[in-house]
Amino acid sequence: MKVTTIGTGYVGLVTGACLAEMGNHVVCLDVNAEKIKMLNDGGIPIHEPGLDAVVSRNVAAGRLQFTTDVDAAISHGTILFIAVGTPPGEDGSADLQYVLSAARSIGQRMTDYKVVVDKSTVPVGTADRVRAAIDAELAQRGTPIGFSVVSNPEFLKEGAAIEDFMKPDRIIVGSDDDQATLMMRALYAPFTRSHDRLMVMDVRSAEFTKYAANAMLATRISFMNELALLAEQVGADIELVRRGIGSDPRIGYQFLYAGAGYGGSCFPKDVKALVRTGREHDQPLHVLNAVEEANERQKRVLVDKVVARFGEDLSGKRFALWGLAFKPNTDDMREAPSLVVIHELSKRGAAVAAYDPVAMSEAAKLLSHVPGVSFCERADHALANSDALIVITEWKEFRTPDFDRIKSELNQAVVFDGRNLYEPATMKLLGIEHHAIGRGTTAPTA
Ligand code: UDX
């Protein structure tokens, strides 16, 4: 099939590359000429495991192309994915200007039947607005051409996006028309060969499903984070509690990890947007409102612990900070809890020596004006002359560090463990003061 993705960001690029992998001919369009040049020169603008290989294989096979040429891109695809950004506007609602401008571009140029697929996360009712925008352009041209608008939200996890696309848990297709449904079924058939994972529903339910999923997951995390704070007060260990409740199949083990707060491009934005939708419909989402508040507080929990240990004035202190990306296996810094921690430490006069396996150049762009921040080539380089180590992102390489080195290089053997990577009992034996999330503080054995 001939496919075009309008928007070659994270979602558009992964979608385009994975569809090309199954034999489709895909053109990825973007307004950003620099990004398209980079892709055409063999580069990949984001860090995503496995993406590089899929892109280069399919470019070499002539099935995947990158362009800024809007006319050519729209004429190429019978299926046009809209995968442009939907950043939060000032009031928290999703800003649809890029989605609607993509729709207008399609309406201005299409000459034959198209299936227009909303892939970006968009509020309920957006498909109707996309349809209206295309209709308006066609009416102006005086050319009645058939088209369908379908909602097909993505559920890709950064760092596992290729795997998620190739072996999806589910594919949601919101469609009110048979021809488009058939085409979407055919497009996704190779991804659901073992058993059918494609669910067809009405457009509005599909649009809503995406928000509901992210809101549910964000709620789970925030609730665990709050339980963790209380666990510390009452002397319970949230890790044991997690295992205790996760064993109930109705709860399950996944997404139950207390930590330094959630970040990324999806949860914060989608939670805000759904809260906003609730308000617009006079149906306030009390629980979700609290989720957002709890997460803002959670991003400061590590700072609170540092301040409780070292005092409000941190001038003259230096902290080694491991992990900048909002989660492992990505260089994405959007809404990363590390940003809050670094700003707060810097504000109190501390120096921060940061290390991340892949996100340092992204982080440097955002932190260039923050006083006292430096970046280290290796994790252990951050330790020397630092007063404590703060771990924020659970990269695998931080799971079993050289504890003797941590102990000998830090001015004081103090670790703030924002992702509960280390066992309090082990740290106690090692003689390292350990501040975890929801597990209390372990002072070393005297
Ligand atoms: C998420 C959804 O999982 C995906 O389906 C959707 O399409 C986009 O949003 P992503 O943003 O890549 O994907 O990250 P995810 O792995 O879901 O993690 C989100 C945040 O929650 C991270 O900051 C992570 O550190 C945090 N998290 C996750 C926890 O704090 N505890 C957990 O138990 C799980």
Q: Which tokens sit at 63? A: 């099935």
Contact between residue 240 and residue 227 where contact means Cβ atoms under 8 Å apart? no
Confidence of residue 446 (pLDDT cuts 50, 70, 90): low
Residue 94: the pLDDT is 85
Residue 445: the pLDDT is 60
ipTM: 0.90
CB-based contacts of 380-384 (< 8 A; 24+ apart in sequence): 380/405, 380/409, 381/353, 381/355, 382/320, 382/321, 382/322, 382/353, 382/354, 382/355, 383/320, 383/409, 383/410, 384/409
Residue 269: the pLDDT is 93
Q: Does the C-beta of 165 come closer than 6 Å to ligand 1?
A: no
Cα(393) to centroid of ligand 1, in Å? 12
Distances in Å between the alpha carbon of 140 and those of 70, 104, 145? Answer: 19, 11, 12
Residue 322: the pLDDT is 98
Cα(418) to centroid of ligand 1, in Å? 16
Q: Which domains does the chain have, with CATH numbers?
A: 2-201 (3.40.50.720), 211-297 (1.10.1040.10), 299-442 (3.40.50.720)
Residue 372, pLDDT > 80, answer yes
Q: What digits encode the pLDDT tens for the residues 116-132?
A: 999 999 999 999 999 99
Q: What digits encode the pLDDT tens for the residues 86-106?
A: 988 888 888 999 999 999 999
Q: What digits encode the pLDDT tens for the residues 174-185?
A: 999 999 999 999
Residue 195: the pLDDT is 84
Q: What digits encode the pLDDT tens for the residues 260-290?
A: 999 998 999 999 999 999 999 999 999 999 9
Predicted model pTM: 0.93
In angstroms and rounded to an integer, the radius of gyration of the C-alpha atoms of the chain is: 24
Q: Which amino acid is present at 183? A: M
Residue 343: the pLDDT is 98
Mean of the pLDDT values across residues 342-352? 98
Mean of the pLDDT values across residues 176-204? 95
Q: Does the C-beta of 203 come closer than 6 Å to ligand 1?
A: no
Mean of the pLDDT values across residues 204-225? 97
Q: What is the DSSP code (8-state) at residue 94?
A: B
Residue 345: the pLDDT is 98
- Nearest CA owner, ligand 1 atom 22: 262
Q: Does the C-beta of 328 come closer than 6 Å to ligand 1?
A: no
Share of the chain above pLDDT 70, in %: 100
Q: Does the C-beta of 158 come closer than 6 Å to ligand 1?
A: yes
Cα(109) to centroid of ligand 1, in Å? 38
Confidence of residue 442 (pLDDT cuts 50, 70, 90): confident
Q: What digits encode the pLDDT tens for the residues 36-64?
A: 999 999 999 999 999 999 999 999 999 99
Residue 193: the pLDDT is 84
| Average pLDDT of the chain to the nearest whole number | 96
Confidence of residue 112 (pLDDT cuts 50, 70, 90): very high
Confidence of residue 296 (pLDDT cuts 50, 70, 90): very high
